[in-house]
């Protein structure tokens, strides 16, 4: 089995670099177009719509709408473990704004005040990994940049801080699988469907 990770399309806050956790920011028109392009790609060979895959989405609108526009909404179950990192006091702020008050701050080391701890994020990521590995078929999840990076790290058996090294663009496609019997990344942060205007 493989686990397909889809990050939602562009929002006003993803474009501006603001931390978007639980605030339900809608997709931009460009983000909707990106979601449709990604869906067209997933419905062509070699994936042909992943007809046998189990699909889950974050309940937040930017992810669930991406799922719908990509053509998977009728098969998707909403699942709370896929919501984005709760950024607490840093919700809506850019890294530059945070650094003004807290020089040297690094989310994957320092966490956030009044929000979710890195241990809590890791625990949610582990739930996603465990769920996907319990299947005998492919799984697809539509979610958010930081939680999906955490899932990638935990899939590989790395500490959640490893997520700092595996960035994800909006409307990107990643595939987690296996190599020589060990967890591996097959595809990461692939946006060819956007670059080609698919």
Is 158 one of the catalytic residues?
Answer: no
For 114, other C-beta atoms within 10 Å of its C-beta total 10
Dig out the tokens for 176 from the structure: 């987690």
Please tell me which residue in 8, 19, 144, 146 is annotated as part of the active site: 8
Residue 8 known to be catalytic: yes
Nearest CA to 137 among 177, 105, 97, 170? Answer: 177
Angle of helix 61-69 versus helix 29-42 axis, rounded to 10: 50
List the catalytic residue out of 65, 68, 84, 116. Answer: 84
What is the Cα–Cα distance from 139 to 47, expressed in whole angstroms?
Answer: 12
Task: Cite the active site residues.
Answer: 8, 84
């Amino acid at each position: 089995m493989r686990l397909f990770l889809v990050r939602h399309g562009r929002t006003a806050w993803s474009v501006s670099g603001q931390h978007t956790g639980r605030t339900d920011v809608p997709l931009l028109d460009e983000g909707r177009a990106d979601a449709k392009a990604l869906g067209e790609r997933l419905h062509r060979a070699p994936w042909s719509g992943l007809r046998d895959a189990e699909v889950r989405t974050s309940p937040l609108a930017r992810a669930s709408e991406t799922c719908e526009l990509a053509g998977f909404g009728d098969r998707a179950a909403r699942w709370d473990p896929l919501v984005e990192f709760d950024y607490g006091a840093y919700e809506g702020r850019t890294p530059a704004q945070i650094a003004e008050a807290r020089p040297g701050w690094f989310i994957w080391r320092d966490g956030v005040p009044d929000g979710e701890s890195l241990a809590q994020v890791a625990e949610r990521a582990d739930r996603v990994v465990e769920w996907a590995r319990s299947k005998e078929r492919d799984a697809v999840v539509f979610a958010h940049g930081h939680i999906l990076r955490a899932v990638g790290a935990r899939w590989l058996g790395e500490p959640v801080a490893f997520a700092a090294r595996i960035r994800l663009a909006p409307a990107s496609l990643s595939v987690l699988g296996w190599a020589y019997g060990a967890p591996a990344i097959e595809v990461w942060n692939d946006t060819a469907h956007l670059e080609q205007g698919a």
